[in-house]
């Protein structure tokens, strides 16, 4: 019987669109273009859904095999985690194994875990571990999950400080921090504005200014808010 990961690799190759490969390569400059097959996201998601439904054992076998050779296999792995994990604990186990192998922002950001909403307190505890870990995209994943899951009803002001305390030089970590704070300025302005009004700045200047810029670009803020965000630039 053919090795499951090899079989899945061949199926992804059959789904690949060569004309899309060069476009994807420009989006993820940290990935060697030779490792990109060119599977479009809708096709990848449809394949992941079918794999879990019709060949669950193959999906599990694929998740147990790391590292993968291609960017597209990593994307499939990220898609499968959200579809396979039935509990936050199961998701943590799969993510802790996978995230150290992630090498780009796109793979990191496509991961969605519906099971997380079953126990947000437990997820927040795990996020604190991710954002203080060493792997670059494990840190980014933690920040993105804070933005996705904790800026509405589950928000607490101390979460802002969790992200503010991250002091890392990597561009894709700090871009995620800026993204997080731009949404925090829009969704939780009363709690977030004092952080940006603080002097000396609570954030490094690049992240501070990038967050304000991204917030100003939103259509969800008033002209008065836009003007205030411009004033806070350093």
The per-residue pLDDT for range 87-98, each reduced to its tens digit, is: 999 999 999 999
pLDDT at 68: 96
* Whole-number pLDDT of residue 2: 57
Distance CA 19, CA 5 (A): 25
* pLDDT over 60 (residue 231): yes
Question: What is the value of pTM for the model shown?
Answer: 0.95
pLDDT digit string, tens, across residues 196-209: 999 999 999 999 99
1 has a pLDDT exceeding 50: no
Tokens representing 126 are 């795990």
Q: Which pLDDT tens digit goes with each residue over 98-133?
A: 999 999 999 999 999 999 999 999 999 999 999 999
Residue 78 clears pLDDT 50, i.e. is over it = yes
Residue with structure tokens 């997820």? 123
pLDDT cut 90: percent of the chain above it: 97
Distance of CA 173 to the CA centre of its chain: 10
How does DSSP classify residue 3? -
What value does the mean pLDDT of the chain take? 96
Pair 89, 56: CB distance under 8 Å: no
Q: Which of 66, 73, 62, 64 lies closest to 31, judged by CA?
A: 73
């Amino acid at each position: 019987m053919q090795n499951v990961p090899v079989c899945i690799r061949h199926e992804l190759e059959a789904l690949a669109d060569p004309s899309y490969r060069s476009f994807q390569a420009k989006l993820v400059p940290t990935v060697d273009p030779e490792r990109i097959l060119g599977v479009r996201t809708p096709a990848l998601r449809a394949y992941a859904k079918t794999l879990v439904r019709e060949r669950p054992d193959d999906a599990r076998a694929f998740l147990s095999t790391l590292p993968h050779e291609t960017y597209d296999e990593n994307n499939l792995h990220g898609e499968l985690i959200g579809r396979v994990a039935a509990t936050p604990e199961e998701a943590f186990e799969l993510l802790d194994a996978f995230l150290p192998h992630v090498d780009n922002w796109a793979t990191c950001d496509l991961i969605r875990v519906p099971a997380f909403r079953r126990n947000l307190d437990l997820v927040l505890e795990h996020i604190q571990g991710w954002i203080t870990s060493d792997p670059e995209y494990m840190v980014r994943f933690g920040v993105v999950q804070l933005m996705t899951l904790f800026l509405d009803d589950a928000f607490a002001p101390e979460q802002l400080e969790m992200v503010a305390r991250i002091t890392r030089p990597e561009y894709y970590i700090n871009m995620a921090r800026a993204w997080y704070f731009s949404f925090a300025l829009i969704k939780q302005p009363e709690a977030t504005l004092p952080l940006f009004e603080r002097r000396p700045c609570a954030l490094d200047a690049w992240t501070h200014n990038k967050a304000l810029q991204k917030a100003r670009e939103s259509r969800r803020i008033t002209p008065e808010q836009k003007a205030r965000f411009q004033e806070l630039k350093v």
